Structure formats: C-alpha cells, structure tokens
Amino acid sequence: MEQLRTNAENIAVEVGDWIRKQWANIKKVDLKSNHTDLVTNIDRKSEELIMKKIKERYIHHHILSEEQANGQNGFSILASYDDYCWVIDPLDGTMNFVHNISHYAVSIAVMKNGDPIVGVIYEPNRRELFSAEKGKGAFLNGQPIQVSKQDRLEDSLLHTGFCAPDWNVNSSLQSEFQKGYGRCRYIRITGSSALDLAYVASGRIDGFWQRGLSPWDIAAGVLLVEEAGGRVSGIKNEDYRMKDGNMIASNSKIHLPLYEMLNKD
C-alpha cells in the first residue's frame, strides 16, 4: 500500500504544480449544471494528465474522475466497482481558480471494495501535501497531523459549502447558517471541500458539513479526517459509508453538538 500512496502523492504534486502555472492559460470556462458549476480547459487537461499517469502503472484499476463522469451520480458508479478504484478530483475549487484565488487542490483517493485506503490532497500554492494511508495515520508534508482538541462548539471554526443545485433561495444551507449564528466561532465558505476536509484533519478548523457532495470531492478527505483522529458521519449522525454526499466531519469532540446544531427545529 505504501507504493500506492507514494505514487498517488507524486501524481498529485506533479499535476498540482503544473496547475499552479496555468491561470493565464484558461481559455474556456464552461458551465455544467448551472452558472455556479464551472469547468475549464485546465480541469480537463489536469484530469487527462492524472489518468494517463495512473494507467501507465495500474492498468487493471478502475478510475472514477469528475469530468469523465460527466454529470452522472458518482456514488452509483463507485458502487459498481469492486476491487481497486482511483477517485479523482483533478481540480477542486475551480471557482477559486477561475477568479485567481489561490485556494484549490488536486484530490486523489484509492479505494478498495468501496473504502478509501489512500487519500492525497495537494494544495499547490502553499505546497501543502496532505496524505493518509488506512491504519498508518495522516500527514502534512511528511509530518503527522491530528484533528484539533477543541471541545466547545462556541469556540469552533466551521466550514461548509453549497453544491450547485442548492444555490437558490430555498437552500437548506440558509436555514443551517441561521441555526449556527452565535452558536459557534464562525462559519465560512472557502470553495474547496477537499481542502475543508484536509483542514479538519490538520486541526486548522474544527468541523465541516455539506450536502450534495460527490465521491471525488471527499474520498481522500474522509480518510484524512479519520486517520487524523476525527469523525465522519452522515448528516443525521449515522455511520458514513461513501454512499451519499451529505456529510459532517469534525475533530470528533464537537461532532454531536454540531449535529444537534444542524438538526435543531
């Protein structure tokens, strides 16, 4: 498994470093499901580079990648793959990238029988490589990381995000924000769910929740959080099984109060 992790790390760093130099080369910004859902020629090229590198070494492994999935439900595709599957977000945080905001990442997970066994998230602007291996811990640039020790929701910094279809006046996020006002330190939307999870794993923030995510947004991050001592659950606090995209991730100490906050009437 160590070789798998090293290869995933090398691919993420190589391609992430390439993406960092590509902002001036954005030629095309296409809309996917709506005007918040963006894809550029750089997302597509990044995906091509990553897939080529995986196929060179792991010809028999499945690959589930955001732009190849082309609007299909990633969880359904994932359920049809047993054995090894690489789950890729070639550029998580495309809106930030398009607006020249240096907060985006390459996310690569290797799954075996539906569970992540390797998770790598590389943020090329700060040269931060978050990486985890099942049973072996979580690391930032090779140094072990752990979730925060915060046990008071009032002092907790939380991140969340919109999925594209939820960007409307009836959004569930609107009521969830209202439930959070004054009950935690702050709630932020920074535009990369992969980095949100990496930041929970490294103790920079205390919790994250979001609805409507896809496997490529979270597969690597879920393993990072768990290996760093945190907890990942469904939005109803049920065990998380990579079957849907509604999730809460935290340092585990604030998990229950965060769940209760979100589910308050």
Q: Catalog residues that contact Ca ion under the rule CB under 5 A.
A: 66, 89, 91-92, 217
Q: Which of the stretches 85-93, 133-141, 145-153, 257-265 binds ligand IPD when contact is defined by CB under 6 A?
A: 85-93
Is residue 94 at the binding interface for ligand IPD, with CB under 6 A as the rule? yes
Q: Choose among Ca ion, ligand IPD, none what residue 228 binds, the Cβ cut-off being 5 to 8 Å by kind.
A: none
Q: Choose among ligand IPD, Ca ion, none what residue 191 binds, the Cβ cut-off being 5 to 8 Å by kind.
A: ligand IPD
x/- map, 191-220, ligand IPD, by CB under 6 A:
xxx----------------x--x---x---
What's the order of all strands across the beta sheet hosting 62-65? 62-65, 84-92, 105-112, 115-123, 128-133, 137-140, 143-144
Figure out which of the listed residues 9, 92, 206, 226 binds ligand IPD, where binding follows CB under 6 A. Answer: 92
Q: Which of the stretches 71-79, 126-134, 167-175, 186-194 binds ligand IPD when contact is defined by CB under 6 A?
A: 186-194
Tokens coding 236 = 């109803």
| Amino acid sitting at position 35 | H
How far CA 16 is from CA of 23, 42, 66, 131, in Å, comes to 12, 11, 16, 14
Name the minimum Å distance from CB 19 to ligand IPD.
12
Is residue 163 at the binding interface for ligand IPD, with CB under 6 A as the rule? yes
156, 207 Cβ separation under 8 angstroms:
yes
94, 38 Cβ separation under 8 angstroms:
yes
C-alpha span between 147 and 259 (Å, rounded):
18
CB closer to ligand IPD, 117 vs 218 = 218
> Residue 85 phi/psi, 5° resolution?
-140, 130
